[in-house]
Copies of this chain bind each other. A is one copy, B any other.
């Protein structure tokens, strides 16, 4: 049995979800609070997850022709202000540099909250002809947004992300790229993070400051709250007009570019915790887990046990991200530590296993124990990791489906949002006023207008006027 020492300090998930989340980020050693409010130290166990996210996404990006670049950290105030909607959206939450070295700056510089303005400034000088298009650039960096309420990974004043910024000759190509990147995110979330998502478009109220259209992937946490997990924006030629990003087309006409941007952040680590975690700690899908297997000897002092554990470690580490725990902690403590950190499979090997030519594999997700022959251990572990990956996605999908409710009128909406946390599928007339009322009455928002439309009622769930669109509603992080 796993040692209770580590475990008992975690609040039970169904008792206090918020406290359980905070306990996990600390006890699994993912992050720590920095001395400035809202900033965090991402510790090795957390950063290793982010490195795997980066590695997997970057590979997928490059396969679609993305090139990485690096833009400056700082934006001059005058540059930020060129696109009216954009500056209105971001100005209240940026940090300002007013002094460089010993001198007061002539113009304040803000720390990037996002880099549309910098990419536009660069593209306006760098793009001349249709031959220069498309430009499909991305950067991995940190950004700052001076948020009032913060939570580790989910909402912090500084976070890590990637931001792609593209420029195209036509509106069609820009729209195609916007959707293409949304699909890259959705596939990544499902295939690698084992998190199913709902793909759709944001309402005008919820879209990005300066975008014509924002597309989103929305996932559902264990507590029934939604998490916006990635967004992809089509800017049309709005930014291009504000920043003069133009090119001479094949027909010799000067035209404005059509632009997009798209990003995911370290909040995906928060999603992993809240979708898969349980009362024993983190549960990581094998494809993203920094350590996929930990080998733990039991009664390590008995003849041959440590040697066999080392041999198993050598065999497994050729194919999997493997660790061997030979510290002097008790086996029970090691088991609990493995569980807390979400290692998908642990291998236990003791004197009796050794004698029988076996080892015991323990699944993190179901805590099932499987005795396997030492001769076939690499194949068994490989097959088990694949099975865990598959079943974690399936379970998350069942949870998503079981917590998605279709309602037809305001009474049903009210009853559902209060008693059955999850996504609410309901029709909408298209008016901002109804979104505002739902926000006011229930602290819920339109998460997205899903790509997969269906008519579940003829009238708007809020005002009763003729319905235009099916919308996913919910309370969100």
Contact = CB atoms under 8 A, between A and B. Distances in A.
A94 B101 CA distance: 5
Contacts of A137: 44
B92 A68 contact: no
B68 A41 contact: no
Contacts of A72: 34, 36, 39-41, 158
Interface string A107-139: 011010000001001100110000000000100
A69 interface: yes
A98 B101 contact: no
A402 interface: no
Contacts of A141: 142
Q: How large is the interface on A (under 10, 10 to 19, 20 to 34, 35 or more residues)?
A: 35 or more
A36 B142 contact: no
Contact of A98 (B39, B44, B48, B99): B99
B95 A100 contact: yes
Interface stretch (A73-81, A207-215, A278-286, A428-436): A73-81
A454 interface: no
Contact of A69 (B44, B99, B111, B118): B44
B71 A142 contact: no
Contacts of A98: 96-99
A336 B214 CA distance: 42
A157 B109 CA distance: 13
Contacts of A144: 73
Contacts of A465: none
A69 B42 contact: yes
A160 B35 contact: no
A93 interface: yes
A67 interface: yes
A32 interface: yes
Nearest to A328: B131
Copies of chain A in the complex: 2
A144 to B, nearest CB: 7
A367 interface: no
A58 to B, nearest CB: 9
Contacts of A69: 41-44, 47
Nearest to A99: B96
Contacts of A109: 36, 95
Interface string A158-171: 10100000000000
A68 B96 contact: no
A146 interface: yes
Most central of A70, A92, A93, A160 by chain B CB within 10 Å:
A70
Nearest to A71: B41
A88 interface: no
A176 interface: no
A421 B102 CA distance: 35
A67 to B, nearest CB: 4
Interface string A10-52: 0000000000000000000000101110011111100110110
A97 B111 contact: yes
B41 A73 contact: no
A41 B122 contact: yes
Nearest to A147: B101
Contacts of A41: 69-72, 118, 122
Contacts of A126: 32
B43 A73 contact: no
Given A32-B126, A74-B39, A93 B97 contact: no
A73 B111 contact: yes
Most central of A43, A94, A101, A158 by chain B CB within 10 Å:
A101
Contacts of A96: 97-100
B70 A47 contact: yes
Contacts of A148: 101
Given A32-B122, A44-B67, A98-B98, 20 more contacts: A34-B72, A34-B121, A35-B79, A35-B121, A36-B76, A39-B72, A39-B74, A41-B118, A41-B122, A42-B70, A43-B69, A47-B70, A93-B101, A95-B100, A96-B97, A96-B100, A97-B98, A99-B108, A100-B157, A101-B148
28 contacts: A32-B122, A32-B125, A34-B72, A34-B118, A35-B79, A35-B121, A39-B74, A41-B70, A41-B72, A42-B70, A44-B68, A44-B69, A47-B67, A47-B68, A47-B69, A47-B70, A48-B67, A48-B68, A50-B70, A70-B160, A72-B158, A73-B142, A92-B101, A95-B99, A96-B99, A96-B100, A98-B98, A141-B142
